[in-house]
Amino acid sequence: MTLIGPTTSATEYRLDADAPLPEGLLAAFERYESALATNDVDALDDAFEPSDFSLRGDGSHMLRGRDAISSFRAARGGVPGRAIETLHVRVLSDELAIIIAMLRSPRGGRGQQTHVWRRRHGAWRIVAAHVSSTSSRPLDTTLWTAAGDPLLPPAGTGALDGVTVAVKDLFDVEGHRVGAGVPAFRAEQSLADRNAAAVQALVDAGASVAGIAHSDQFAYSLSGINSHYGTPTNPAAPDRIPGGSSSGPAAAVARGHADLGLGTDTAGSIRVPASYQGLWGLRTTHGAASLAGTVPLAPSFDAIGWLARDAETLLSAARAALPAAGPTAPARLVQIHEVSALASTPVRAAFDEVAGALGAQSIAPGFPLEEWFAAFRTLQAWEAWQAHGSWIAAHPGQLGADVAPRFEAAAAVTAAEADSARAVVEAARAEIREALAGSTLILPSTANPPIRLNAVQEAIDADRAHTLRLTFLASLAGLPALSAPLLDVDGLPVGVCFVGPAGSDVSLVETARDLTRSTPVHHPNTMEIS
């Protein structure tokens, strides 16, 4: 048995072959295993056939084409050490073979890896690969900071009996440290002596907490990428970003590891991962649910929210955690072409088709969107620095290259600039609520489908800026906003966002559910049920 991974001892594995091995096949396989152990991305890329038809799958997703496989590998990082116990080889011809490797992890788990190898132009490469784990799945540290069975049991019974929850790493969970996506910050926190109000509301209604799932650093991102912990896999598009900052709860739900994700939304951090992963995601009315025991980003806009694979689970959470009475979300749908035009051409085309099917009417309120957007960003930045600036200044180098520049810019915002922005925000909030009275606004949840994991930071930042111009409107107005998984854009999921009157959260989900029952979900999320 040959040990593969961060180990130093090695013995021979058992080889089971039905014929003499073609020249070069075993050497090609062993080069692949060596590259996997050292995370040699270039060698791993070279191991797959350079084709749009190469396949790589596992228990939760399927990648098609070497470019998609390469993007996934580059962002994933290395794999845990493992051992090959038996290698089964079936030679189909001098140019084609199947290799099945029986694997054992250091923690005792078993699994298998199946490859179809083909020789072309004298070189053996993988045409198709599948990896499966059969037991003792290790904790996915790109997804969870802590997990249990359960991590936190129910504290009562009610509408959420049997529901499991993935809690974003911004909420206090009794007996655990909150980290806000930053290991050095977590290390300095005390163990929570009580649950955050949003967590307590769910366990009081019968839910259990499956685990604490990752957040982007201090929730100041929409990508889902965390330079310390890695990037949770987006099962709906494994070579694409998962969306953030509620990336961990969203991925846990999309992969079937939890029924409900508890997160926050300041500028889209529920709606964006919901859109990118084919989920239902609700940002609640600002102030409707307590944020006690939650790490803030920008209190003028922070709101809790939930993610689920279906509208009914989302409804159960909203009914359990929000005030019983609230206004009704009108069935009259409206869209603002000036707003939906901010999405990319493919997203806008898909959105227009659904908006037409839903009977949405066009309105033109003439909102000064750029002025409002600038004020929103200024006040958000000011409040983010007030919340975390002292800690960041005292701990240089702890933020990733994506988040650090935002806090650097936030540090330069003056109190006078913040006061001026606050006045614009307050006036805008009143104007938006008045313009949308008696209507439910719909718009694309994101400007684009999820971008590739290996995109350069400049491209990710540009994509974020486009999406923020869509998501900020509900945040600015303090209104509930629901992303429903209704669009398919080039085979990738994109949500449609429903924005209702203040306090209409429960009714908004009901309205969207009822209106969309005749509109098929074009890109259902992919689940890994374990």
Claim to verify: residue 319 and residue 444 sit in the same structural domain: yes
Reported as type and span, the H/E element at residue 75 is helix 66-76
Chain CA centroid to CA 247, Å: 3
Stretch 292-319: mean pLDDT, rounded? 98
Half-sphere exposure of 275 (CA within 13 A, CB side): 36
Tell me the pLDDT tens digit for each residue of 145-203.
999 989 999 999 999 999 999 999 999 999 999 999 999 999 999 999 999 999 999 99
Claim to verify: residue 485 and residue 351 sit in the same structural domain: yes
**Angle between helices 415-435 and 457-477 in degrees, nearest 10:** 60
- Which residue, 133, 155, 186, sits at the end of a domain? 133
Does 76 score more than 90 pLDDT?
A: no
What's the pLDDT score for residue 514? 94
Does 518 score more than 80 pLDDT?
A: no
3-class secondary structure, 331? coil
Stretch 386-393: mean pLDDT, rounded? 99
Claim to verify: residue 156 and residue 77 sit in the same structural domain: no
Question: What range does the domain containing 30 cover?
Answer: 2-133
**Cβ-contact 237, 508 below 8 angstroms:** no
Give the closest residue to 27 by CA, choosing from 85, 97, 103, 111. 97
- Which residue, 100, 116, 133, sits at the end of a domain? 133
Claim to verify: residue 144 and residue 199 sit in the same structural domain: yes
Claim to verify: residue 55 and residue 185 sit in the same structural domain: no
Output the domain CATH number for residue 49: 3.10.450.50
Claim to verify: residue 146 and residue 127 sit in the same structural domain: no
How many structural domains compose the chain? 2
Claim to verify: residue 153 and residue 79 sit in the same structural domain: no
* Distance separating alpha carbons of residues 465 and 463, to the nearest angstrom: 5
What's the pLDDT score for residue 133? 59
Burial of 41 (0-12, 13-18, 19+ CB in 10 A): middle
Claim to verify: residue 145 and residue 123 sit in the same structural domain: no
What's the pLDDT score for residue 73? 76
What's the pLDDT score for residue 5? 36
Claim to verify: residue 85 and residue 166 sit in the same structural domain: no
Stretch 376-380: mean pLDDT, rounded? 99
- Which residue, 133, 154, 185, sits at the end of a domain? 133
**Cβ-contact 433, 476 below 8 angstroms:** no
Claim to verify: residue 79 and residue 205 sit in the same structural domain: no
Claim to verify: residue 116 and residue 173 sit in the same structural domain: no
3-class secondary structure, 100? strand
Does 360 score more than 80 pLDDT?
A: yes
Claim to verify: residue 119 and residue 143 sit in the same structural domain: no
Residue 278 banded pLDDT, cuts 50, 70, 90: very high
* Distance separating alpha carbons of residues 494 and 340, to the nearest angstrom: 13
0.85 cut: is pTM over it? no
What's the pLDDT score for residue 187? 97
Output the domain CATH number for residue 202: 3.90.1300.10
Tell me the pLDDT tens digit for each residue of 401-456.
999 999 999 999 999 999 999 999 999 999 999 999 999 999 999 999 999 999 99
